[in-house]
Amino acid sequence: MSEALLLDRSLADAVLAGDGDAYRLLVERATDTVLATCRRIMNDPDEAADVAQDAFVQAYRALPTWRGDGPFAAWVRRIAMRMAFARLRARRTVPFPDLDRDDIGPAAEADQEPEHLALSRENRTELVALIAGLPDAYRRVVALRFADELSIEDIARATGVPEGTVKSRLHRAIAQLRRQIDQGKAA
């Protein structure tokens, strides 16, 4: 068992024994991970912070059920993902993460000529527009797979749909995007 996991487990045990400061330490260790995930899903920093806070409250209440077989941050992250998707379902819209941010792909962009860099950003903007036009179910799996870099299994858990459905939606979304891109090139 890793040192980090042992620390998470011992802090959780201390919380269950009544040590409130131990939970503060658990939250501090997991905050960056949980907030980053919430921001990607919600695409709104304020709403993401609300979801993250709600997830930590729910995690506190459910702490006795945490098995401790994985990092605390990963467990709270899954709680936050479920809460974020529930909030999006209630709104009936799923935003796509902002891929035009300057912090995406700096290593890949560092070696490019300015002309190529401008073209890749233009292509990225076009792709984001195409993705935004996808049906909500397709947009959700594309966002989780490529922006949040989740596995098919994690996407299935986060969305509450079977892995086969996730694969199917992802395949159909990519096929639809390819058709649209090909049509754009032909025009």
Structure tokens at 157: 């858990």
CA distance to 25, 92, 107, per residue, from 111 (Å) = 40, 41, 8
Taking each helix axis from N to C end, the angle separating 114-132 and 163-186, rounded to the nearest 10 degrees, works out to 120
pTM greater than the 0.85 cutoff: no
* 30 and 80 together in one domain: yes
* 85 and 137 together in one domain: no
Structure tokens at 146: 């490529």
pLDDT of residue 113: 55
* CATH number of the domain where residue 86 is located: 1.10.1740.10
- 39: in domain: yes
For residue range 62-87, list pLDDT tens digits in order.
999 998 888 899 899 989 988 988 88
Structural domain of residue 137, as residue ranges? 106-186
* 7 and 58 together in one domain: yes
* CATH number of the domain where residue 132 is located: 1.10.10.10
pLDDT of residue 108: 44
